[in-house]
Amino acid sequence: MGHGAYQTLRVSRKDGVAHVTIDNPPINVLDVAVMTDLRRLLTALAGDDTVRVIVWDSADPDFFLAHVDMTTTPDALAGLMADLPDGVNVFQAVGEQLRRQPQVTIVKLAGKARGGGAEFVVAADMAFAAIGTAGLGQIEALMGIVPGGGATQYLTERVGRNRALEIVLGADLMDAETAERYGWINRALPADRLDAFVDRLARDIAALPDGVVAAAKHAIVPRDHADGLARENDAWASLVLRPATARLMGAGLAKGAQTRDGEQDLEGLFRDLAG
């Protein structure tokens, strides 16, 4: 594509649509490598006026983006923190860049997306999910923290304050049909129709007359969440460095978090620790 090599992304382009497959085994955890690749790719594509739509999917049928890597240290994030936009943390920066991308961004969600992975989904312009296999969850409360990558703001905009509180504090994995009903995603689709529907939509958008996509994105702007993101970052930072949080995440890792088996019911794993 002329956008360089990426460690965790597979990128192809056809007829004005860039297809990006996230590929970071074993569970597509949102780690420094993924965030670095995402920011590099979004920056490269922002200047490419031959691409009108970006479709995101996963190489792993079970996991779109698992969640932020629980083993990440501040030192490991230093490179990403060097060029952050004003007023956002390293995790929020990914979501804000995605929300303000000039192309239309569409998530094709076949597996699970939790925490930072779910924040990526809600930051995209559109998301479509497979019935029976897709799942969305903000699991942070079970880890002793609150979302720190934009979810408190993006979710409130999408689903309303009451449902955002349910999602954040209930910390359950939500199926595709419930997510559609709440407004978290655009549509829940039968798993065998997801690819065809999203690919057709992406092609149709990319084939619109010159200027239409840019005009629509100029008119339908993302809400400015600067104040809310600052409040979210303060709330998250007040919890994430507590010793109790480190102990809880360490216990979760010891019980199987960030393994394929443990991630099947990560909510249950952390609830068992609390019990």
> What pLDDT does residue 87 have?
85
**9-35 mean pLDDT:** 97
Give residue 2's pLDDT band: very low, low, confident or very high (50, 70, 90): very low
Amino acid symbol at 55:
V
**275 against 181, higher pLDDT:** 181
pTM for the predicted model, two decimal places:
0.96
| Nearest by Cα to 119 from 152, 91, 151, 90 | 151
Give residue 84's pLDDT band: very low, low, confident or very high (50, 70, 90): confident
Average pLDDT in the chain = 96
Which percentage of the chain shows pLDDT scores above 70?
A: 99
Task: List pLDDT tens digits, range 162-190.
Answer: 999 999 999 999 999 999 999 999 999 99
Task: List pLDDT tens digits, range 121-146.
Answer: 999 999 999 999 999 999 999 999 99
- Tokens encoding 159: 């689903």
Per-residue pLDDT for 205 more than 80?
Answer: yes
> What pLDDT does residue 4 have?
56
Give residue 106's pLDDT band: very low, low, confident or very high (50, 70, 90): very high
**108-124 mean pLDDT:** 98
Cis amide leading into 147 (omega within 30): no
**116-123 vs 90-99: helix axis angle to the nearest 10?**
20
Show the domains of the chain with their CATH numbers.
Answer: 9-193+204-208+222-274 (3.90.226.10)
| Nearest by Cα to 94 from 102, 84, 86 | 84
